[in-house]
Structure 1
Amino acid sequence: MRRITRIATVGVMSAALALSVTACGETSSSSSSDTSSDSKGGKTAIAYDIGGRGDQSFNDAAYAGLVRAQKELDAKGTEAEPSDGESDADKVQRLTALARAGNNPVIGVGFAYAPAIKKVAPKFPKITFGIIDDASVTGDNIANIVFNEEQGSYLAGVAAAKVTKTKTVGFIGGVETPLIKKFEAGFVQGVADTDPKVKVVPQYLTQPPNFDGFSKPDLGKAAAQGQLDKGADVVYSAAGLAGSGAIEAVSKAGKWNIGVDSDQYKQEGLSAYKESILTSVTKDVEDSVFNLIKSVKDGKPESGEVRYGLDKDGVGLAMSNPAFTKMTEVIAAVDKAKKEIIDGTITVKSTP
């Protein structure tokens, strides 16, 4: 039986009402006590980032971790979707409702949840709060799940520099934030170290506080077209749902895409363009979500910084496209770079 409840929360009242319904038709009370959680993690909740589930990227990777926990740990999951133009106060209300409903852990997908978790976590000390892609907010009951995105992006830069025929490659960042700049930094360095003659054309879709660059495919499509017009024949998009628009444009132009977060070659929503997706810079968000849920269920909840890098296969390059795996020279260069990053011969920058 499917045991994931999907809700869209707007304000305290609607959140509480939505959370009172489970997939099996049962109800759960919304106690304000911090002891309302199941200490063994029988119930867990994910609050999605901008773009929500179905982005074929970051949020979907988190969802995969929840599904795995449902199958392997018999966890009952609740999903909470973001609303357009929401504030930090909306996120506080959402997380509070999820905690009061007895979910443990409660996981915020994305750095945008940092202010809300900072406010909510101290009020529920017996509940573990996970936040993905942020280490700024700390606490005894907070697990900071972070990744070395720059390392995986470096490998993408190596591949792009090896594959390009025009000596021009593109980088599309969704929103110009320190996190996305890590992707750019690694990619640019990987390209430069592999072939200094290759030019990288970077572009960001929006600037904070406008986060449409993570959610609007048309922005990604327009940016990709601009990069194609400048001669780019490989485009790496780190833009969440907006990246799907870039993938479409690059695919229709017969050029190479590099995806992000999930193995986008395998994403059903991108199947029409999969042959153009050379590889993807993967972040093991799926395992990180599963591991946090399991730690709570086992009575040893993760807390503090939980880092995933190349050394733990927490980031890397997807090898699903047969066209990519047949490029023996490219794969050899990628493998060499991976080894040198892990052994410390190469230090990858986290800022451009």
Structure 2
Amino acid sequence: MSALTDTLFTMLTDVNNAHIFTGDALDGYAEFPTPNCIVSDGAYGVGGFPGDPRTPEALGEWYEPHIAEWSKRSTLATTLWFWNTEVGWANVHPVLVKHGWKHEFTGIWNKGIGHIAGNVNGKTIRRMPVVTEVCAFYTREPRLPLTPGGDDIVHMKEWLLKEWKRTGMPARLANAACGVKDAATRKYFDQGWLWYYPPVEVMEKLVAYANEHGDPAGRPYYSLDGKAPLTADEWRSLRSVWNHEHGVTNVWDRPALRSKERYKGSMVRSAPRTHTPSATSASHLNQKPLDLMRRIIKASTSEGDVVWEPFGGLATASVAARELGRLPYAAESNPHFAELAADRLAEAVSEPLFA
């Protein structure tokens, strides 16, 4: 029996402590909790499913409503992994930057020569065979209002310096506050590319010194709500998670799925490029390996974090998140794929998420 019922349209279903919204993600985001991480594996601009643009040039327009919602519903600590082709990503990147996402690096999935073996005619092909996909990693641009709750949003480096100036103290006293010779002003008050994000222990010292020695009339300094100085936990919550794994680079050598992990079902083709899975063929055109999804989710989230998968397909990111003790929320507009995804999630982990 399927993990979902037949009433599948525009509903959020709980499956084994994972959640699937069957319908357009744009209608489902309001039902999802704030994301710690978003894993996007949607349109590639190849006409791969109904609604996917036929060419990558239209991908920026296709993704923009989603990106706007991601930005609106994220925090400064939310991260994004964006899967696509090289040229597809290139067309979407400017839209991501426009909405406040900061590119950190791009992962390259190298599927290897086996991906094209026997499928390329060397006499007619006029390019090097493509065996890669990209997965670009983004964080939120660190921006805060100069006035708590106000619309005067500036980069965090400008906020740090202006708040200190508001105390009436010279900038050099920030070094005394941190117990360093010149590192505080040189790193944390720099307004150019040499700016450093202050670690929690440094920010605690700056906040304490500013509020103890600054002009009493302007207190509190470095406040998010205008009522109290920010705490260590508040400052920590503004920065995204990164769990570094030694020996792992941005090039991921991993064959495309051909093993038992490749999800199969019979396939009914009701129209060109329109697939309704049924029993022997691969159910999804571009299923991602679970180990790669585990890698990126583990790198950028903590246990209990909320992971969004706006274009679920077979919900591979959600399965990986479920296995890692995260809270997945996926959306899938095709009811049949939503059922297959629910079946996978139902089998992913049977124990309760938390003891």
| Structure-1-length-normalised TM-score | 0.30
| Structure-2-length-normalised TM-score | 0.30
Indicate the structure whose relative CO is greater, using CA pairs within 8 Å and at least 6 residues apart.
2
Q: As a proportion of its length, which structure holds more helix?
A: 1
